Amino acid sequence: MSNTQNRSVLYDIQIAQGGSFVDYDAWSWATTFGDAGAEYRAIRTAVCLWDVYALQKWDVTGKDAVAAIQRVFTNNLQSLADGQVRYGAFVNPDGAMTDDGTVYKHSDEHLWVMTNADDFDAAVAPIVADLDVTIVGKTNEMPLIAVQGPGSRELLQGLTSTDLSALKYFRFLTEPIIIGGVPAWIMRTGFSGELGFELIPAREDAVALWQKLSDAGGQPVGLDAIEVARIEAGLIVIDADYTPGETSPYDLSFDKMIAIDKGLDIIGSEILAKTATAPPLRFKTLRIEGNDVPEYGAQVMKEGAVIGTVTSPTHSPAFGVIGLATLNAEFAANGTSVEVALGETAPGAHSDRVARAFVSDLSIHDPEKKKPRS
């Protein structure tokens, strides 16, 4: 972690709203605005505002823009229409995930790419050196405000004359619109498992837009509430649910987002194709009995043998103690009974304390993901 923390352009207004912050990976992130429970309820029943300024944003241009990003991205970009978004894994020549993120298509020669890592451009450059493409970091110039929750469309519709009912899931408008008097790009994307939108205003307009959204009833939320919501929705986080450079996208059950059967130029395709025939690991949710929340990285066992890892555990107001987990495929069927280690466990050791758990759907909140598509 760097000793110098980067701050969002919204940092001061969030401090004024009662935000508490934690430093993580060179950025200051809001953790809560005083009541994480109320913030969670806003995500699930009303409207929340989440500042995602630190998300790494890249402007990709050039004759070979689509081909270049396709070379390192598992999902199919060739079928992407202008104004459409696609999520998937970024991989290295070994077929291992280096990152996960979204690709937004403006045109055949212009994409936005959003990632976790801030060295995406440097990592991709040698892989696409033969192509006509330019990748420029735009993180500080593109504040991103997530407006999520069942009431998000209604709130935003009250602030714009643009008909938002026509904007479908994983689509975006290819020109900015006026929202609360502020020009902003608008996308039907998010990280909550709910109906939601994401807005990108100009940096100098971000505070004014955040204030308009707050005044209209949006509840600012921090990581404490987001963490619960994203685990319920089966959404992953880098360095918790996967290790860059080591984890196969099949380990996270990304099967539908790996287009190796389309004849596309994706590095690591041969290795991915071999894994696809019988993925050894599956990514699921565990429903864990009792009130003890296991550690991140806790062992999952079956009859004393380690058969998986809890990657992201939490206590959910709706479902009790749950956790995302990678499991040996033979034990990943819904309803399978397993045990989860409780307390700190040394690597390679077994915990004396365990809790019974049952394998469940990856998105325990909304298995068919009907809510974000509503």
As a whole number, the mean pLDDT across the chain is: 96
Q: Report the pLDDT value the prediction gives residue 5, as an integer from 0 to 100.
A: 80
Q: Report the pLDDT value the prediction gives residue 3, as an integer from 0 to 100.
A: 45
Mean pLDDT, range 109-122, rounded to an integer = 97
pLDDT at 347 over 70: no
Q: Report the pLDDT value the prediction gives residue 350, as an integer from 0 to 100.
A: 59
Question: Of 260, 286, 121, 104, which Cα lies nearest the Cα of 188?
Answer: 104
Mean pLDDT, range 242-266, rounded to an integer = 97
C-alpha separations of 47 from 178, 244, 339 in Å: 19, 33, 36
Mean pLDDT, range 63-91, rounded to an integer = 98
C-alpha separations of 82 from 103, 106, 108, 187, 189 in Å: 11, 5, 8, 13, 15
Identify the sign of the CA torsion 353, 357, 363, 366.
negative
pLDDT at 133 over 60: yes
Contact 133, 61 (CB under 8 A): yes
Q: Report the pLDDT value the prediction gives residue 15, as an integer from 0 to 100.
A: 98
Domain 11-53+143-231 has CATH 1.10.260.40: no
Query: In the chain, what percentage of residues exceed pLDDT 90?
Result: 95
pLDDT at 9 over 60: yes
Q: Report the pLDDT value the prediction gives residue 25, as an integer from 0 to 100.
A: 86
How many residues are there in the chain? 374
Q: Report the pLDDT value the prediction gives residue 223, as an integer from 0 to 100.
A: 98
Pairing of strands 85-91, 97-107: antiparallel
Q: Report the pLDDT value the prediction gives residue 2, as an integer from 0 to 100.
A: 39
Per-residue pLDDT tens over the stretch 97-113: 999 999 999 999 999 99
At the top level of CATH, which class does the domain 238-360 belong to? mainly beta
pLDDT at 154 over 80: yes
Largest CA distance in the chain: 61
Delimit the domains of the chain by residue range.
11-53+143-231, 238-360
pLDDT at 158 over 80: yes
Per-residue pLDDT tens over the stretch 13-34: 999 999 999 998 899 999 999 9
Q: Report the pLDDT value the prediction gives residue 46, as an integer from 0 to 100.
A: 98
Q: Counting Cβ atoms within 10 Å, is residue 41 exposed (0-12), middle (13-18) or buried (19+)?
A: middle
Decide if 11-53+143-231 and 238-360 have a common fold. no
Q: Report the pLDDT value the prediction gives residue 137, as an integer from 0 to 100.
A: 98
Per-residue pLDDT tens over the stretch 223-250: 999 999 999 999 999 999 999 999 999 9
Q: Report the pLDDT value the prediction gives residue 351, as an integer from 0 to 100.
A: 61
Strands (E), 92-228: 97-107, 110-115, 134-137, 145-148, 177-179, 182-187, 196-201, 219-220
Contact 1, 23 (CB under 8 A): yes
Strands (E), the chain: 20-24, 27-32, 48-51, 56-61, 85-91, 97-107, 110-115, 134-137, 145-148, 177-179, 182-187, 196-201, 219-220, 281-288, 299-302, 305-316, 320-328, 337-341, 354-360
pLDDT at 188 over 80: yes
Global pTM? Answer: 0.96
Per-residue pLDDT tens over the stretch 297-323: 999 999 999 999 999 999 999 999 999
Q: Report the pLDDT value the prediction gives residue 345, as an integer from 0 to 100.
A: 56
pLDDT at 64 over 70: yes
pLDDT at 138 over 50: yes
